[in-house]
Structure 1
Amino acid sequence: MNRALRVTTWIVAALVVLVLVFLVWANIVMQGTRSAALQVWRDDRVSVRDAGDSVVMSPTGQANGVGIVFIPGAKVDAYAYMASFRQVVAAGTTVVITKPTLHLAFFDLRPLSAFERYAPSVTTWAVGGHSLGGVRACQLADDPGVAGLLLFGSYCANDLSRSDVDVLSVSGSRDGLSTPAKVDAARDRLPADATMTEIQGANHADFGAYGAQPGDLTATIPRSLARAEISAAVERWIEGIRSDVLH
């Protein structure tokens, strides 16, 4: 009995240590850069508020009725994506950037409605995500109420090839994590008319503003240029969604 008790005690202790180590690891987050965040806060075309479980970015001018629920990459701070959507929001789109459970998208099982409620005036919703967040967004895109799917340096694990969701996949030619080869290999899981846009010279970290990321390649274009090309691609995609809704 004593031996069994000792073994059980050691197993429980080991499990406790593993859980603690995991929690510490999960909470070491890649923070958004201060300078990029300040540029957004100072932009009078964009309103930013922290809703607790998400960051809500709204246009201060004329809204276009479109909203995006966006899921961050693994262990990346939600605020790191404000700069990525600054121009998109200024042009009229509402963006709700979620704060995933334990900073990991696959632990977050909340429905889209949990975040859509922060922008009741939005009439057309899309879902998107970066890296692991994009994988989760693909799962949520099965919702019949979702008009669009936005992937930043990501690809789907589930099959959406027969879906009528409007898909934009933006990738980087210098992405060392969601490599061009991986994005291409998963292409058949997206609808045939999905828009595939590769930013030449951009890497994985160019989709946010949180510095360099382990395993990534070095970008060969300035981050400002990558961000401008990403924003332009997203704005064209949003106009397509609006056109589909109107017709």
Structure 2
Amino acid sequence: MTPSRRRRRVLAWVFGILGALVIVVVVGLVVWSQVGVMAAEPEPLAAARADERVTITDDSAAIIIEPSSGSREVGLVYIPGAKVDPWAYAAKLVDVAADDDITVVITKPWLNLAFFDLRPLDAFTSLAPDVSTWIVGGHSLGGVRACTLAADADALALFASYCANEITDRPVLSLSGSNDGLTTPDDVAGARDLLPADAEFIQIDGAAHSSFGDYGLQDGDGDPAISDADMTAALTAGLAELADSLR
């Protein structure tokens, strides 16, 4: 066998192994992303779907919750936390749509992980074309992803989350929980310098990480000490104030 043929055989063997490894990694990632997804609790979800104050549309890219009042002025693109069913946030956000006339678009991240979803913000805002002003926000790692999209929105809302990049030139609302064991009060305070000086911080007394959705308790989280009704009211009030400032 000539040296050149031997080199070609070695290269083919090396590239074959690398290709096989890539396939194994990709398949493993896809399988992992589907295992352990935290499902929406059935009772709150059923109540949200039955709420006549809103219209809910199930699109392949997102869940759109629109106020039955017909208002289309302000919208919220909401990015779920890692491996949390997007429907788990519907019940917590129905009052935001119904009471505050905010169109809510809950994204369906690729592989159930926001950081694997490379779609731009307009992939979701285009689902509600009549809305003129947009807030982008998200829960947990979904909020970290929202920070990277904030330049294309009019405001940013963080839900038990914080930014890893600097935000300087738009309104920011941070809603966090005093009992959160995953995004702790210290975590929120530690990233404070990345946000504008006039960013509004609201710590919800008794709220844990899982209080921001309806998907059960999470490992490592603190114990929630707030009712679902009070949690929903706190989220609704905070977002209403932000939305009103943009109108």
Q: Aligned equivalents of 2:54 and 2:214: distance in 1?
A: 17
Which whole-Å deviations, capped at 9, do the CAs of 1:103-125 have from their partners, x for residues lacking one?
A: 11111111111111111111111
Q: Aligned equivalents of 2:72 and 2:124: distance in 1?
A: 18
1:131 aligns with 2:140: yes
Letter in 1 for 2:197: A
1:181 aligns with 2:190: no
Match 1:239 to one of 239, 244, 247 = 244
Q: Aligned equivalents of 1:76 and 1:58: distance in 2?
A: 22
- Give 1:67 shift: 0.5
The aligned residue for residue 106 of structure 1 is 115
1:90 aligns with 2:98: yes
Which whole-Å deviations, capped at 9, do the CAs of 1:167-208 have from their partners, x for residues lacking one?
A: 110000111111110100001111111110000110001111
Q: Aligned equivalents of 2:12 and 2:60: distance in 1?
A: 44
The aligned residue for residue 82 of structure 2 is 74
- Give 1:227 shift: 2.1
Q: Aligned equivalents of 2:120 and 2:20: distance in 1?
A: 35
What stretches of structure 1 of length at least 5 have no aligned partner? 243-247
The aligned residue for residue 61 of structure 2 is 53
The aligned residue for residue 199 of structure 1 is 204
Match 1:44 to one of 28, 37, 52 = 52
Q: Is the 8 A contact 1:206 1:227 kept in 2?
A: no
Letter in 2 for 1:171: S
Question: Superposition pairs for residues 219-230 of structure 1, below 5 Å?
Answer: 219-230=224-235
Q: Aligned equivalents of 1:127 and 1:203: distance in 2?
A: 22
- Give 1:19 shift: 2.9
Which whole-Å deviations, capped at 9, do the CAs of 1:93-142 have from their partners, x for residues lacking one?
A: 10111111111111111111111111111111111111111011111111
Q: Is the 8 A contact 2:38 2:85 kept in 1?
A: yes
Tell me the TM-score normalized by structure 1.
Answer: 0.90
**Superposed structure 1 runs of 4+ greater than 4 Å apart:** 1-15
Which whole-Å deviations, capped at 9, do the CAs of 1:52-105 have from their partners, x for residues lacking one?
A: 110000001141510011111111111111111110100211011111111111
Aligned residues: 238
Q: Is the 8 A contact 2:61 2:108 kept in 1?
A: yes
Tell me the TM-score normalized by structure 2.
Answer: 0.90
Q: Is the 8 A contact 1:72 1:100 kept in 2?
A: yes
Which whole-Å deviations, capped at 9, do the CAs of 1:192-236 have from their partners, x for residues lacking one?
A: 111100001100011111111122111122233222212211112
Give the share of equivalent positions with the same residue, in percent: 46
Q: Aligned equivalents of 1:142 and 1:7: distance in 2?
A: 43
Computing the radius of gyration over CA atoms, which structure comes out larger, 1 or 2?
2
The aligned residue for residue 115 of structure 1 is 124
What stretches of structure 2 of length at least 5 have no aligned partner? 1-5
The aligned residue for residue 172 of structure 1 is 177
The aligned residue for residue 245 of structure 1 is none
RMSD, aligned α-carbons:
1.9
Q: Aligned equivalents of 1:112 and 1:11: distance in 2?
A: 34
